[in-house]
Amino acid sequence: MKNIVLFGPPGAGKGTQAEFLKTKFNLFHISTGDVFRFNIKNSTPLGLLAKSFMDKGDLVPDEVTINMLNEVVRNNLDSNGFIFDGFPRTNNQAEALDKLMAENDSTISAMIALEVDDEVLISRLLERGKTSGRVDDSTKDIIQNRISEYYKKTAILKNFYTKKNRYFGVNGEGSVKVITDRLSSVIESL
Ligand code: AMP
């Protein structure tokens, strides 16, 4: 079972790349952002709670996010492996993910990070905001807050996986196809 954490700041291209990689490597794709947006669309209690954080560009609290992620994984244990997109985003989440994998006699094979300059992230997200309809893509202030949440709470996870020799950085700038090839080479090497 290959379990991949696709990592990087907002706008790095995790969602775009996960779409290609899930088909290529037959992995079950879990985007925590997509699960939250699905819940918001359907006005579930989880959606209502998540929306208040997401619209400001803040992270949703760990307990809520971890419980949701655990449930999605447990419902899909017959898959060939997982590609986590947007999870973990905090130290608590990374520890919870390790625990969940261990419970299922599995492990995270690699964290693969898409490395992209901040200016490129901001312009990509503002561009996406023209069509995505996402409140959190709509203003530069909210986008900056998402990037700042990433540096405050998420970027440290590089150390978490580096210590386990599971961290791989990939240049996330260039054409979508070239970046898919870079990511694929890492996955094939695992
Ligand atoms: P994304 O679609 O990955 O850009 O996530 C959009 C928003 O959903 C984030 O800005 C957070 O508010 C929330 N979110 C997604 N994943 C997580 C997570 N692992 N932990 C906390 N909040 C999350």
pLDDT band per the 50, 70, 90 thresholds, residue 116: very high
Check if 14 is active-site. Answer: yes
The active-site residue, picked from 134, 158, 166, 182, is: 134
Which pTM was predicted?
0.97
Amino acid at 33: G
Check if 124 is active-site. Answer: no
pLDDT band per the 50, 70, 90 thresholds, residue 134: very high
- Domain ranges in the chain? 4-181
**Residue 148 Cα, ligand 1 centroid: separation in angstroms?**
13
Per-residue pLDDT tens digits for 2-46: 999 999 999 999 999 999 999 999 999 999 999 999 999 999 999
Asked if residues 114 and 11 have their Cβ atoms less than 8 Å apart, the reply is no
Q: Does the structural domain 4-181 have CATH classification 3.30.420.140?
A: no
Alpha-carbon distance 139 to 65, whole Å? 25
Question: Which among 1, 8, 70 is positioned nearest to 35, based on CA atoms?
Answer: 70
Check if 182 is active-site. Answer: no
Per-residue pLDDT tens digits for 54-78: 999 999 999 999 999 999 999 999 9
Reported as type and span, the H/E element at residue 167 is strand 167-171
Query: What DSSP character marks residue 137?
Result: G
